Structures are given as structure tokens and as C-alpha cells.
Structure 1
Amino acid sequence: MIQKINSLEEYQAAYQKSVAQPEAFWADQAESFTWRKKWDNVLEWNFREPSIKWFQGGKLNITENCLDRHLNERGDETALIWEANDPEEHFRKFTYRELYTKVCQFANVLKNNGAKKGDRICIYMPMVPELAIAVLACARIGAIHSVVFGGFSAQSIADRIQDAQCSMVITSDGGYRGTKEIQLKSVIDDALVQCPSVKRVIVLTRSRTPVSMIKGRDVWWEDEIKKVETLGMTECAAEEMDAEDMLFILYTSGSTGKPKGVVHTCGGYMVYSAYTFQNVFQYNPGEVHFCTADIGWITGHSYIVYGPLLSGATSLMFEGIPTWPDAGRFWDIVDKYKVNILYTAPTAIRSLMSFGLDPLKGKELSSLTKLGSVGEPINEEAWHWYDEHIGKKQCPITDTWWQTETGGIMIAPIAGITPTKPGYATLPLPGIQPILVDENGKEVQGNGVSGNLCIKFPWPGMLRTTYGDHERCRLNYFSTYENLYFTGDGCLRDEDGYYRITGRVDDVLNVSGHRIGTAEVENAINMYSDVIESAVVGYPHAVKGQGIYAFVICTPHLNDEELTRKDILMTVSRIIGPIAKPDKIQFVSGLPKTRSGKIMRRILRKIAEGDVSNLGDTSTLLDPQVVEEIKSGALLSVKEA
């Protein structure tokens, strides 16, 4: 098995070994998996190109490690629990054996519909068990899954399908989130107008909403399953993959308009997601792990699907939202399934705090042993509320820092073992070598310092490239500072050597734990017919952590500001999705620009934050007067959009 850390001394010893002998350290972890052929070489790397290869020559299939190898010992134990959006709807549970059969069946469906090793398959589904089954079925046949969050617009999906040249889409007629019914198939239909590469669409029945089914392209999931059942196709041999073959693409926002497809590979991602799951959460056999994320994000990939199943764990997935039918829904689920580990986002915690303690009344939370936080740094007030009212001061909180690009948790307390500190991600996990640098790339040494967070040595779960554009990967992550992976985050290292993430240092916002590029939002706003130019910045938001504040220049004949505001929001929803809608829109006649035409977002950020007393020298701007106008407009209080 993976080497589990059981004490602070063991953490320190593991960390020392991982830095002194990284190849030996990771080879030891990799030994605990099923390999068709063992690797020839543990690691070959440089951060210049960049080129990172782990476990070269190793042959495996990740689903044999998620499913097949558990069948003898824990085939009848629960692998997956699903809780529906509607509490009245019956839950579903799958043992490892049942999940294995479902994955094999759907893998055969994919093959019957022309999918093969190396094909890219887009998955756009609600949070139902079939989403996890589809992900694993792709991996079983060696197809590369690209899961797109169910809240994205048709245009966003089309961009992702075109970039990866997907040949197939797996979707659903619709889905539920709280009181909303989401029309997933009709969004896919709109997207596919621009996507000639897609030859087949497999549609799951979920909401029974009427949909159009195009002859020769669209087929029903249930009909396809019946075909393989009739033929008795309950087995599907797993495709042999190289450790460095692509496992999945996951699109993430960057500081330029176009989302980038982060590529993760089979071997390294497998080892890293399982190692971090078992150690950070101190997972013990039989515990129920409830990660509240969506599988459309990296958290769902690593800590609902792969990490738990690789570890033989019981993973709980939930279709709905924490506040429906009331703000006690999470606590009902914890009580109902005797959840041991709860892994959620600061946004969710802050939202639930606002309802007070009534929703907790009568909810039995004593099964909880460990709590986790993900998506953004958790503020102290939320940390203490979580600790006191959910963990009853009995559950260690692991505040995890990591990214889509890192594949798994990087800096975090190991639950119950390394001491915690509210607001701090604390210490790096074994194998992770963080470094703080100043603007010039010079290392900032010692404690009680801050700088830009970089990593100086590779780890198995890290991204290998951005799909179809390796140069973009190099420019984004490896070109800012020589021989370092640049995270894009600012960071403080305190007197104890503990790390605290202070936020993005590039033009990327962290809204409710989701990364959204300012350029992407500006592009969408600028598509609206009456908009001449816009600038988007983040500002502190009580629930989301960061809100989106848009400064917008419109054509002079603007008559109805309120209607225009709504139209802009609709435009952004159409182009990116509701997740990227600005919280505040301020109409302005100009933007603060340097003489070379660069927008001074630093000034706009301060205005958005309400800190107008210290804007620095504005005399060098092209039109300093515009700053006064924007300031007074902001002080007149811009309505929440």
C-alpha cells in the first residue's frame, strides 16, 4: 500500500526523503499499484521546454487500479453513494463489483459507437453516477475525457470541443440544481452547430425534458446499454496505456481570453491523486468521504472519482446545492450516510454561516472525523465556524492549496498530524518543494517573508502540457522564472515556516473557488452591441471570496442603464456561462490608461475595493480626470448586478 504518514515525525522523515531522494520516494509509492509492466525510468525532466516524464516505459490502465484490483477483497463494499438533488428521490449505491460492471458495459457502448484509444470525448452531464461511469469508461478504453461543467454556455462548450477536436459527446436530456432544471441537451445542440468533428452524441435520460434527437448522430444511453446487455457484454478488457499517455484534458481559465486545456497523464496522476487522498485525509478503510465539488472541476476528478476509488474508499457524490430545499441539506446528508470526511469550499461555508445555526438543529454530525476546505484560502471567521459548529472542535481542518494544473493537493495540513493554523495552508506535502521569489525571480529566503509562489522540482501529478499548444504551457507556467513552475499565486511564509496563499498575482479571479480570467469576461462584455470597451477586476465579496466588478464604456446613446446592465449579464451568460456574470457593473466615460494605452487595473482594483485614498500617482495617465469620475461613480454605490 501507499506509505501512510501516522505522526509528525513520520511526516518530517517522509518529507526529508522526498527531497533528498525523490525518485526512490515516488517509486516506493508507485509500487503499491497494479502495473502491466514496471517502469524503466522513474523521472526525466527539465523546466525549460518543459518536458516532464514520470514512470517512463510503465504500462497500466488506471481503471484496473480503481476497480479490478479491489474485486477480490472488497467487491461487495460500497464504492459510490449518490444523493439526488431532490431529497425525496431515492439514493443509489454501487459496490465495487457493480461499478466495475457498469463501467465495462458503458466502455463497450463507447466502442460500439466508434470510440477508440486516443479519441477525445467531451462529457457534459449533471452530477449523476453515470457521469463518474462515463469518465471511467473513457479511461478504460484509452479515450481521453474532457469533462465540461454543466453551467457553461454553448459557446464555451464549442470552444472546448473544437480545441480538443472531440469526436463524441456524452450528455443528458437535462439536470437539476436546486429549483432549477438545466437544459443540457439543447445547450449541446447549440454548441454542435460549430463542431463538425463530433460524430456521435450519447444522451442519458435524467429530467425527461423534451429534446431533439438527430438521426445518425444522437443515441440514447439506455438503448445502447440494452444492446450490450442483450449480447452479454458485461466485461471489457482494459486498454494498455503508457504511464505518459494522456488520461484527460480539463479546461481552465487563464489571463488571456481563450481557456487552456490542461493535460494530465495516466501514471503520475494515478500515483499522486491516491497518495494525497490517503495522506491528507488520513483515510481509513470503511470511511465515507463526501467531497461536495462537481466532477466538472479538478477537485471532483481527483477527490470524488480517482483518488477515492484508487484507494478502495467509499465516495459520496451529490447532485444538488447546499441551500435547497433548505440550508441544512449538507448536514442532512452527513447524518443520513454517517459521513466521516467532509471536503467543501469556503464559499459554501460562508453561505451556510449566513443562515445562522437553526439549520444545524437536530442534525447528528458526530460521525465526522475530518474536515477539508478547497478552492480558495478559507478566511478565519469561516474556519472557526466550521471548526466549532460542524467539527465540534473534534475534527482537524485541512485547508488545501492546489490547482487544476497540479493534479492534486500540494500544501495542506495532514489531518490530525501536522498542526493547523486558521487561514494557512501550512506545510508542503512530501515531494513538493515550494520556493518564494521576488519580482526578479530571486529567491526570498527565511521565514516571515512573502513573494510569488513557485515550485522548483517536479511531482507526479503535475500538468504535462496544454492541449495542442505546448508553447502556451511554457509561457504560462515556466517562462516567468527560470527553471521554476510559477503558480500565479502570491504567498506569505510566516515565522513558523507555514504558507499562507495571498491570492492571484495575474489577471485571474477566484470566484467561489472557480478560476475566471478577466480577459475572458472582458471579451464577453465587449461582444454586447452597445459596449465600446470594458475592464474587469476582482473585489472582496462576503460569500464568493472574490466578486467580479466591471467598468464599462458604452455608446453615447445609452437610454436605460438598468436594461443595459441586464443585457450585458445575459451576454456574458450566453458566451461563458452564468458563473462569469459580473456582480457589479459601473458605466464610465473612460478608463485609466497609460500613454501607451495600457489599462491601469491596479487603480480600478483599489476603487472596486473601496480604497480610494491611496491610488498612487495618477498624473502620468493619459487622462487623470477619468479617475475622479470613476471614483465618484463608485462612491455613489454601484448596484449589485
Structure 2
Amino acid sequence: MQIKSLEQYEESYKKSIENPEQFWGEVAQNFRWRKPWYKVLSWNFEEPNIKWFEGAKLNITENCLDRHLEHSADKPAIIWEPNDPEQDSVTLTYKMLHEAVCRFANVLKRNGAQKGDRICIYMPMVPELAIAVLACARIGAVHSVVFGGFSAKSIADRINDAKCKLVITADGVYRGAKPIPLKDVIDDALIGCPTVEKVIVLTHVRTPVSMLKGRDVWWEDEVKHVNAVCEAEEMDAEDLLFILYTSGSTGKPKGVVHTCGGYMVYAGYTFSNVFNYQPDEVYFCTADIGWITGHSYIVYGPLSQGATTLIFEGVPTYPTPSRFWDIVEKHKVNILYTAPTAIRSLMSFGDEPLEGKDLSSLRVLGSVGEPINEEAWHWFDEKIGHGKAPIVDTWWQTETGGIMISPIANVTKTKPSYATLPLPGIQPVLVDENGVEIEGNDVSGNLCIKFPWPGMLRTTYGDHERCRQTYFSTYPGMYFTGDGCLRDEDGYYRITGRVDDVLNVSGHRIGTAEVENAINMHAGVVESAVVGYPHDVKGQGIYAFIIYPNHHQDADLTKKDILQTVTRVIGAIAKPDKILFVSGLPKTRSGKIMRRILRKIAEGETSNLGDTSTLLDPAVVDEIIEAAKNKQ
């Protein structure tokens, strides 16, 4: 299954394009199935309707746990590194993880969970988060993990959309030196969530919490009432595995749906190949399990391949900016997969945090979440990899389920800031605005994929039409990624950024409409428009142009109030970095805000704004430019 040379890559790629069903059928043989498929693939992108491994029966946890027990029972499955470096790390072998998952699966059953129920998970980066995810999959329940930084309103929206029956959370979490009360946030969220029957609470930071009789139970108490024997539920390849909410260009988050069979095959195949994972290596992905990277490349991908995956609770700069390097040295990490935002942040501290650190165990480096800029690429290569560890700069999305375009470690020749070549089975195309394919090299356009792959989304939960509209209607017969892309003279791909109204802040996608809706909830705000602008650390920052007639009274306090509103509605992750109060916004005569103009102003490029004469009030642009200059 592993590609070892460029010739082998070219051979695999050719086969995957010419005979995709045979190719993926052979890859899938490397997994454990209870019943084989009668058809590898049936699809059409019009509806869309995609089915992989039809008729096959399986349980993904048997592939992540049970099948490793015969030969690798005592091999470390998860190494947990806590927030506090003074605290001991924890290692769970495959046998221990299997027992913990079976035990907690029985806890879920004891609390009324059944196959097909949706379960919301809002937890710190602790081993129990992975255990909860796998326990849901074990019994055929659908997990919806919500990132620990989201607000009560954001959680409530997600719980209600999926009609979740249970919530799994913890008393709190440490972010650096600061304890954050997770249970309190859940309590606020659940005021408006009628479908939730039970809340299971893990003790983690020992902060006082309110426990509601009949609804709330302690994780530690519940596991005492069950044993560690739990037969895995038989699932159809196309049964739901999880829902993961992602920001859209409308204000409402959309629940991306992934299914059991295809997702498992794709996550496992891409993990094994992209990172060239070798037995007994320690693999460290610094993402949060609340995002797709954590689902595919902390939990399902590595565990399906019998890997040792490291989970880190803390942040890269606490208690010092050496924390990542201390973890690499302590656990002899071989593969490090992180985000450009983290790299840029650590770069800013200079070389001192690296002094005396032994990073010689590192064999492969990876980057995820956004295109990595050249400066950060070179620093990562020279200072962390010492020129010996290839960087796999991976491009993919929540919707794709796994890595799509990326170098294969020690196979593909890398190029700074390029995702390089598509993986086997992936057929990228560049199209112009009219959907006409742009052939040849040294060209750029909108990135689409013209053939299905096993890890792709199947629908958006409860709203299939939204899935069709968002991903399959812009360019009929193709999946539209929403990204702009160029293909250079070598046929290498480089992602140039979003072409829709979605921002990429620290590798996390945030819809402009979502932020605008939150700002507009503030009592004094008349209207707002949000755009992205280049940010030294985050890649993209959020710039908000706000009409607020009475802001002169106390502008600083007003800004703080607006930031507080955004934090309450979405979470701190969506707070604007810059706020500019304006008297009007550049609109067309039909009332559409010209974000293109605001983006240029935010970037400081005011000399070439294009034709503004068609605007409803062209004078407003000069006013905004003047206000922006005075603000600098």
C-alpha cells in the first residue's frame, strides 16, 4: 500500500485514474471488513449521490483497535502530553485503549445511546476525547465534535441542527495558564437544546461545576458500573460516522457528513503514504481533534495503521516557546504535522528556544490548514528539520476527509509553498469563471475535482440541497473547492487562497457572513462588512468595517463591546483583529456590498480599486480610505 519511489507514484496514479474502482478495491483489501462490497463505486455529481464499497459491512473501531491486538497489543497507541510540563505524560497501549473504548461504549449504552443517535463532544485534548470518539463509532452512534473554543451559542446551534441526544464534556480545560470552564459553557448552551437527555462529565481540572439531577452524570462514576466487553456494531459502508460543522458563506454552519467505509480507507491510505509512516515511529499532529485534521490524522488515520499518535493538550508557547521542541525531544518524535500559524508564531521568538534541543529524531515534517509562506517553509526546513526532513505541505478540507494534494515524504521533490502533486485517485482541474477547463502548465484558475474519491463528504446534515448548491452547482459535474490555485511549469499545484466569502484564520475557516451576523447583534451596529487581510502570524486576519452612528462617545469601549459580542456568539477565534467605524459601505445599486474594494483597502492597496462609478455612492469609498489612513 505504501509508495516508495516516484516511478511507483506515477504507476499508482496512472492506475487510479484509468481504473479507479480496481485501484481503490485493492487498497480497501488492507482493511478488515465483515462483509465484502458488491460494487466499489456508484456516483453522480448532479444530485450529488456518491456511494463507495456498496453492500460492505464493517466497524471502523475494529480496524483502529481490534485488529492490532494480536500482534501489537502492548504497542503504544496514544501518548498524551498534558498542558503542564511538570505533570507526567500518559501512554495507552492498543490493549488499554481497546478496553477503555469498550468500557465507555457501554457507558454510552447505559445512558440511552443507540446506533444512529447523534452525540455532541465538547472536550479538552485528553485521551478521553479520542476514547469518546471511538466509543461512539463502536456502537454506531454519530459523533459531532465541537472545538473547545466555541461559544455556548455556537454549540447550541450545532446540537440543535444535529438533534443530539447526549453531550460528552469535561469540567474544564487548561489553555496555557488559564483554566476555562467547559461545563459552564455547555450549561449555557443547553438552555435552548430540548433534544439533549444526558450529559456525561469528565473530571479534568477539578473546578466546581453544577450537576443537574437526572441529566448530568460523572464519567468516573459511570465507568464503574460497566465492563470492558463491547461487541462492535455492524455498520454499512455508507452509514454515517460523524458530522463536523464548518463555516459557510452564509451565517449558518453546515454539518459535513462523512461515512464509515470510504472515509476509513482514505484516511488510512493517505496517512500511511503522505508521511511514509514506519512501524514503531512516534507521530505528533499538533491539531485539535475538534477540527478535521484531528479526526483524520490524530485518531482514525494513525490508529487504523497501528501507529503511535501523540495528543498534546497545551499550546506551543506555554510555559515557554520551546514546548514543541521539548515534546519532540522527550518522546523522540519522528513525524511532526503542524500549522503555518504555529510555525510563524514560533519563528517570531528567534533561535533561542531551539538552543540545546535534540530534534534529530525528526524524519518527516508536515504543514496543514493553509498555504505555508516561503519564509516559514525555509525556517521549518532549516531550523527544525536541519535540511534532512522533507516537508509535506498538505492541501485538503473538512469536506475532502483527507489529504488531496501533497508531496509524499521521501518520494516527491518538494518546492517551498507548493502542495506539489495530487495523490492517487485525485483528479484536480483548474477552471475559469465559466467552468471551462484550463489546460497545460503555468496557468491559474479555480480548483475543482472532477472524479469522486472515497473520503469525500456525502451530504450536509439535514440539508442535501445545501450540499449540492455549495459544492456541486457552481461548476456542474465537478466538486468546487472554493480555492484559487496555480499550476506551475512542473505541473505542481499551489493554493492561492479562498475565492468565496470564507476566511482562513490560523488554518480555520470562518465565514464572513457568520462574523457579520455576530457583529450585527450588537445593539448599536447598523451594518457591517468583514474581509480578510494579510496577517504576519495568522496568515489572514479579520478586518471589520462597521456602521455605528454613536461610536464617537467612547470608541475604544465600543470596540471592546463588539469583540465581546462576537466572542459570545461564535467564540474568541472569530474576533476581528481590526475594526474601522464608517458612515457607509460600498454597495452596488442592487445593494450588494463590494467586498473586493474593502479587501483592497484592508490590504493598503488603494491605488487600484477598479471602476467604482457603478456604486450606489462612490464617495463613500474615499471616505473609508481616509478613515483607514488615519487609523494607521
Same fold (TM over 0.5): yes
Q: Deviations over 1:341-365 (max 9, x none)?
A: 0000000000000000000011100
Q: Which is further off, 518-527 or 588-597?
A: 588-597
What are the residue-to-residue correspondences of 1:123-162 with 2, within 5 Å? 123-162=121-160
Measured in 1, the distance between the counterparts of 2:549 and 2:65 equals 59
Matched, 1:85 2:79: no
Measured in 2, the distance between the counterparts of 1:557 and 1:334 equals 49
Measured in 1, the distance between the counterparts of 2:590 and 2:420 equals 42
What are the residue-to-residue correspondences of 1:27-426 with 2, within 5 Å? 27-228=25-226, 233-426=227-420
Measured in 2, the distance between the counterparts of 1:620 and 1:431 equals 45
Deviation at 1:560, TM superposition (A): 0.4
Q: Deviations over 1:585-630 (max 9, x none)?
A: 0000000111111111000000000000001111221111111110
* SS of residue matched to 1:65: helix
- Runs of 4+ that moved beyond 6 A: none
* Amino acid across the alignment from 2:254: K
Aligned equivalent of 1:587: 581
* Amino acid across the alignment from 1:226: K
Q: Deviations over 1:274-304 (max 9, x none)?
A: 0000000000000000000000000000000
* Amino acid across the alignment from 1:134: A
Unpaired runs of at least 5, structure 2: none
* SS of residue matched to 2:553: coil
Aligned equivalent of 1:533: 527
Measured in 2, the distance between the counterparts of 1:321 and 1:593 equals 41
Measured in 1, the distance between the counterparts of 2:230 and 2:263 equals 23
Measured in 2, the distance between the counterparts of 1:597 and 1:253 equals 24
TM-score, normalised to structure 1's length? Answer: 0.98
Deviation at 1:143, TM superposition (A): 0.1
Measured in 2, the distance between the counterparts of 1:618 and 1:21 equals 51
Aligned equivalent of 2:562: 568
Measured in 2, the distance between the counterparts of 1:616 and 1:262 equals 37
Measured in 2, the distance between the counterparts of 1:249 and 1:268 equals 15
* SS of residue matched to 2:528: strand
Q: Contact (CA 8 Å) 2:551, 2:558: kept in 1 or not?
A: no
> Identity over aligned residues, as a percent?
76
Aligned equivalent of 1:491: 485
Deviation at 1:227, TM superposition (A): 1.2
* Amino acid across the alignment from 1:328: S
Change (3 A) 1:617 1:65: same
* Amino acid across the alignment from 1:628: D
Q: Contact (CA 8 Å) 2:551, 2:581: kept in 1 or not?
A: no
Deviation at 1:416, TM superposition (A): 1.0
Measured in 1, the distance between the counterparts of 2:557 and 2:475 equals 46
* SS of residue matched to 2:395: coil
* Amino acid across the alignment from 1:570: Q
* Amino acid across the alignment from 1:303: Y
Deviation at 1:412, TM superposition (A): 0.2
Measured in 1, the distance between the counterparts of 2:27 and 2:106 equals 32
Aligned equivalent of 1:508: 502
Q: Deviations over 1:258-288 (max 9, x none)?
A: 0000000000000000000000000000000
Unpaired runs of at least 5, structure 1: none
Measured in 2, the distance between the counterparts of 1:118 and 1:288 equals 34
The count of aligned residue pairs is: 632
Q: Contact (CA 8 Å) 2:154, 2:569: kept in 1 or not?
A: yes
Aligned equivalent of 1:522: 516
Deviation at 1:555, TM superposition (A): 2.8
Measured in 1, the distance between the counterparts of 2:104 and 2:545 equals 48
Measured in 1, the distance between the counterparts of 2:521 and 2:541 equals 21
Q: Deviations over 1:17-73 (max 9, x none)?
A: 000000000000101111110011100000000000000000000000000000010
Measured in 2, the distance between the counterparts of 1:544 and 1:557 equals 28
Deviation at 1:558, TM superposition (A): 4.3
Q: 1:605 aligns with which of 588, 596, 599?
A: 599
* Amino acid across the alignment from 1:515: R
Matched, 1:621 2:621: no
* SS of residue matched to 2:526: strand
